[in-house]
Structure 1
Amino acid sequence: MSGMTPEISAEGAVLPRDVVDDARGRRPKRRRNPNRPVWEEQPTVAGQVAKFVILAGVVLAVLFPLWTVVVTSLSTTQESIKAGGLVVVPGELTLNAYTQILSGGVVTRAALVSIGVTAVGTTISVVVSVLAAYGLSRPGSFAHRPLLFVFLITMFFGAGLIPTYLLVSSLNLIDSYWALILPGAVSAFNVLILRNFFMAIDSSILDAARIDGAGEWRVLGGIVLPMSKAVVAVIALFYGVGYWNAFFNAMLYINDNAKWPLQLVLRSYVLQGVTLPGSGAGQVDVGTGVVTGMPVKMAVMILAIIPILVVYPFVQRHFTKGVIFGAVKG
């Protein structure tokens, strides 16, 4: 029992157990750092192995479908038929599927439509959202609270599909590219993210610019936007991905398949199995090198994925910063 008695120094202070053990020549017991939480402690070997296995499984679950799509798009029709559809183990590889769909047919035209709609739509959406958010972020702006209330209502209540279609039809936007842009040009959620970021900017900086004679347009363009590159880049990514992946508006408002975006053409290929005129996918492969069936479908899918994969790395570094800084603070 005497070993359990705490040691007291000459000054009357209680000495820590590890100090006493070290003074007696005994090896102190290893204990957790009280200043660090449990999850920051050094993991055990079993824990590291378990993490590796789990993460490896997740990576394989993500990469395996992408691998099969890429390999199938690079395979011949015979290889696809031999594999029963999707090719896992590559055999004879060819770029004929990509050459075929990019030879000036429906897919090429649909890709150009998607690029144009995404570029124009993203520009319009970002400009309108920035202007609306900046106006709503100024407490003294005209009808500040009523307009903010209107934006909030649109996040929870919608007019419905039929009234929206009737509105688009009454504006003579049926079979118009504007029908793919204007109905979803502004997202209330994105406007609120921008507004919260603008409100977090130190007002003394903006007041100093106004004292120096800068107007609101100069303040927005010369001070607010340069300080908001991260959140604006994230919002542009949100809008760009939305426009690029959208196909439902095209289904509703575009009757001419020459104006279809790429995603709607992809849907007709993959889900419905419909071959569009001028696509080249309806030809018969009889030793001519023409690729049909599954390789063409997968090539169209890869073509629809590539632009986002190319753009995302340039915006990814702003993603976390922009969303966190623009988030609603609790």
Structure 2
Amino acid sequence: MSANRPAWMGKPSPLVKAVKAVALVVVVAVVLFPFWTIVATSIASPQEVVDNGGWVVIPTSLSFHAYTDVFEGGVITHALLISGGITAVGTLLSLVATVFLAYALSRPSIVGGKPVLLAILFTFLFPPAMIPAFLVVQELGLKEDYLSLILPVLVNTFNLVVMRGFFQNVPSELIEAARLDGAGDFRILTRVVMPLSKAVIAVIGLFYAVSYWNSFFTAILYMRSDQWPVQAVLRQYVTQGAALSNTSEVTVVNSPQSTKMAVVVMATIPIIVLYPFVQRFFAKGVLTGAIKSLGKRSQP
């Protein structure tokens, strides 16, 4: 009986298990080593960093002087608050817009749903270039306004398609039963569809949060230097060095390597802390939504 089973369903031998374990350890080490080097360099003394050529793997003496310098300057603290606000507001607005639009496009009776969907998919294939996007933001009066970092990227096409595919496979019997009870579309969405779609909503929310948190190029284009989020300031630190004073202009200085790595750690930790809370929804939300969406397309 076992001979008829596919190879991937058979019980692996001890040698195969050992090889998988070694490969997993190697992959984890390769992923964690760069991050550990950054953390170790950030807590090493500036002299030790210089003596080791700019990078420290195992610091001999701990020093949190780099973090003290960063917090005392005020630039990073201010930038972290800006990034937190943009991420929170942007993620909320993007989720609301994506959920409403995905639900509307998932209903077969919606008027003009297919042309709207094709127009949205067109933007996925041909995204706007930098200069037209800049001119649109400028003409709308959004330059040096934080809305310029949110409104142009409010709805991501990939996220919309995944969520629409998930909504399409909510049992139609539940929706029809709710309609018979007198519920409208808004109540059906909030009371029936969304409670059944917590996994995909959590994953899409994570995608939006990471995107807003890591965005820096549009901030450099549209905002003054004292309005930059943490990723834009981080780029300034790492590539050129930046003054530790919170002024309207970022002055270029020679920041120690340990200070630069401290900024990298502070910009990375929020996402690392957030990810475990939604990790359990990740595979379920993305794979289920994508597979259901492909299944719908394959049907005649």
Same fold (TM over 0.5): yes
CA distance in 1, matches of 2:19, 2:105: 49
- TM-score of the two chains, using structure 2 as the length reference: 0.91
- Contact preservation (8 Å) 1:281, 1:296: no
Instruction: Point out the more displaced range, 139-148 or 231-240.
Output: 139-148
Task: Tell me the CA shift for residue 34 of structure 1.
Answer: 2.1
Match of 2:5 in 1: 36
CA distance in 1, matches of 2:233, 2:213: 13
Match of 1:58 in 2: 27
Once the two structures are superposed, what CA deviation does each residue of 1:78-108 show, in whole Å capped at 9, x if it has no partner?
A: 1111111111121110222222212351111
User: Does 2:144 align with 1:175?
Assistant: yes
CA distance in 2, matches of 1:54, 1:309: 24
CA distance in 1, matches of 2:285, 2:17: 32
Q: What does 1:144-155 correspond to in 2, within 5 Å?
A: 144-155=113-124
CA distance in 1, matches of 2:288, 2:56: 44
Match of 2:226 in 1: 258
CA distance in 2, matches of 1:145, 1:52: 48
CA distance in 2, matches of 1:283, 1:299: 16
Task: Tell me the CA shift for residue 142 of structure 1.
Answer: 2.4
Q: How many residues align?
A: 290
User: Does 2:100 align with 1:131?
Assistant: yes
User: Does 2:282 align with 1:319?
Assistant: yes
CA distance in 2, matches of 1:126, 1:283: 40
Describe the shift of the 1:325–1:80 C-alpha distance in structure 2 as closer, same or farther (beyond 3 A): same
Structure with the higher fraction of residues in helix conformation: 2
Describe the shift of the 1:151–1:283 C-alpha distance in structure 2 as closer, same or farther (beyond 3 A): closer
Q: What does 1:248-327 correspond to in 2, within 5 Å?
A: 248-254=217-223, 256-270=224-238, 272-276=239-243, 278=245, 293-327=256-290
Q: Which runs of 5+ in 1 are unaligned?
A: 1-31, 285-291
Q: Kindly, what percent of the aligned residue pairs are identical?
A: 47
Task: Tell me the CA shift for residue 51 of structure 1.
Answer: 2.4
- Contact preservation (8 Å) 2:44, 2:258: yes
User: Does 2:95 align with 1:95?
Assistant: no
Describe the shift of the 1:132–1:283 C-alpha distance in structure 2 as closer, same or farther (beyond 3 A): closer
SS where residue 326 of structure 1 aligns? helix
- Contact preservation (8 Å) 1:281, 1:293: no
- Contact preservation (8 Å) 1:113, 1:259: yes
Which runs of 4 or more aligned residues in structure 1 lie more than 4 Å from their structure 2 counterparts after TM superposition? 279-284
SS where residue 102 of structure 1 aligns? helix
Task: Tell me the CA shift for residue 159 of structure 1.
Answer: 3.1
CA distance in 2, matches of 1:243, 1:261: 10
Match of 2:298 in 1: none
CA distance in 2, matches of 1:44, 1:208: 52
Describe the shift of the 1:248–1:281 C-alpha distance in structure 2 as closer, same or farther (beyond 3 A): closer
Once the two structures are superposed, what CA deviation does each residue of 1:25-80 show, in whole Å capped at 9, x if it has no partner?
A: xxxxxxx8224322333333433333233222211111111111111111111111
Task: Tell me the CA shift for residue 225 of structure 1.
Answer: 0.6
Instruction: Point out the more displaced range, 155-164 or 132-141.
Output: 155-164
Match of 2:294 in 1: 329
Task: Tell me the CA shift for residue 281 of structure 1.
Answer: 10
Match of 2:163 in 1: 194
CA distance in 2, matches of 1:140, 1:122: 29
